[in-house]
Amino acid sequence: MNKVILSYEFLRMRRSIATISLFMFVILASSYSIWSGLAWQTSHQDSLSEFVEQIDKKGSEWRSDLEDIESGKSQSSPYVARPMDINFPAIHVTGPTSHLAIGMTELLPARLMISPRRNGLSMIEAYEFDNPMTLLFGRMDFVFFVTVIVPLLLIALNFDVIASDRARGLNRMLLSNPITESSIIANRMAARTGLLLIIILTVLSIGLYISNNLPFDTVIAWIFLITAYIVFWYGLIFLVVSKNKKGFSGLSNLVSLWLFFVLIIPAASNSITGYLYPQPSKLELLSDARSATSEATKQTAELTQQFLEDHPELTIGDDQVPGYYRALFLSNSVVKESTKPIVAEFTKSLDDRENMLDVLQYLSPTTILQRNLIAIAQTDSRSHALFIETATQHVDLVNDAVEDAVLTSNRISVSTFDQIPSFQDIWEATERPKVTVIWPITFMLFLGLALISLTRRS
């Protein structure tokens, strides 16, 4: 009997213009969301590559100058091949599925300049040139399509799965067969939802296929997360349509539930988290950095003197290197020390908020799916914080390599320079935040199956 209902349902769908139109919309909207994300990511990546190319070119020129001075091909001068002028590019390389989940990458800085001239704040290249109004409107990437649009499509497909039959008395005829009403609903919904799921997973597969070096576990995680999310909505819709005799009241209830789970709970979760763990003031960080810079500038002579007393083995170079090189280097060190507490506060606040959201996400499967897909794509706040942290470590590494030379107005050797690793090497060796999707998937599947089982029993 179940097979008959399924076949009947597929036949009905084939003959319904509204249903075919809806599936066409699914194909178009999901393909569009992938194209939109891909177009943005390509342009973003091109810009980053251009930046790396330009800085690397300058770096090669700098090294070549240093080689010439070291080999005696050219004469030393105060401004050429100075260690303060070392620059390394640092770019935030996101995961292979970042075109499907843009996340925070549109907002957060992805280009950093690693140099002894820069500190934790000034290493960020100016990047805030996007139109704030277009940022406010946001983009339609695949994550938005799956988390927001798909549940509504499921509602549109399934809300009248039985109500219209009930209204016309057709359900009585069906129930004269050895089958329960819940089985009829479940099978008909399974046919409709199954077809929708197949379309979404097919388009997703194309989206994933476009990516380079895609790990197998990432593919599995995307497929299972989306499937579990759809199972949850299937269960919820199954419960509501089974309880509502009239189609429109079921629809009102489902739209209210969509609003609750997709918009209100995520917004409330974020507001509660922000209220409990407010982000520290960036303006306070700025104030601290400025105070430190001002104090360090005033004390340049004393700080240099102290350094030279601590390192009697070092000799002062002959070149008349401008004094601001040393002043800048010292002020950056002072800024780093003085802003340590507030930087730590930022890190703690972000951790607290993310940990809190890790718990609150279980209030809404939409939040679960959105957070996990963005985390897998490494376009979330955690991944970005790790990028900044790694870049800060790289700045320290470069500073350690050049400190003696800068403070004694000397140069570093070519071999010392060559021993400084590039940011890319460090970033590739850095362990990314672990994304455990087993619990989120299990939770959504459990919820969905529990709702189905509950409805069948009642």
- CA-wise closest residue to 383 among 141, 104, 49: 104
Minimum separation from the CB atom of position 201 to other proteins (A): 22
Contacts of 343 (CB under 8 A, 6+ apart): 120, 285
Minimum separation from the CB atom of position 250 to other proteins (A): 9
Radius of gyration of the chain (CA): 30
Minimum separation from the CB atom of position 360 to other proteins (A): 9
Residue 76 tokens, joined: 């030393």
Q: Which is nearer to other proteins, 56 or 125 (CB)?
A: 125
CA distances to 230, 232, 348 from 440, rounded to whole Å, are 13, 12, 24
CA distances to 326, 422, 423, 424 from 429, rounded to whole Å, are 32, 11, 10, 9
Minimum separation from the CB atom of position 217 to other proteins (A): 22
Calpha distance 220→272 (Å, rounded): 32
Q: Which is nearer to other proteins, 278 or 433 (CB)?
A: 278
**Distance in angstroms between the alpha carbons of the first and the last residue of the chain:** 21
Q: Which is nearer to other proteins, 147 or 410 (CB)?
A: 147
Residues pairing with 113 in the sheet: 89
Look-up: residue for tokens 């970005």?
384
Q: Give the β-pairing of 111-114 and 88-91.
A: antiparallel
* Size of the chain in residues: 458
Q: How many CB atoms lie within 10 A of CB 205?
A: 13
Q: Which is nearer to other proteins, 128 or 313 (CB)?
A: 128
Q: Which is nearer to other proteins, 57 or 73 (CB)?
A: 57
Calpha distance 392→378 (Å, rounded): 19
Minimum separation from the CB atom of position 380 to other proteins (A): 6
Specify whether the backbone of 191 is left (phi greater than 0), alpha (psi in -120 to 50) or beta: alpha
Q: Which is nearer to other proteins, 51 or 417 (CB)?
A: 51
Minimum separation from the CB atom of position 174 to other proteins (A): 20
Calpha distance 141→34 (Å, rounded): 6
Q: Which is nearer to other proteins, 175 or 259 (CB)?
A: 259
Minimum separation from the CB atom of position 379 to other proteins (A): 8
Q: Which is nearer to other proteins, 51 or 234 (CB)?
A: 51
Minimum separation from the CB atom of position 131 to other proteins (A): 4
Minimum separation from the CB atom of position 124 to other proteins (A): 8
Calpha distance 339→392 (Å, rounded): 13
Specify whether the backbone of 138 is left (phi greater than 0), alpha (psi in -120 to 50) or beta: left
CA distances to 124, 328, 329, 442 from 395, rounded to whole Å, are 12, 14, 12, 42
Q: Which is nearer to other proteins, 329 or 417 (CB)?
A: 329
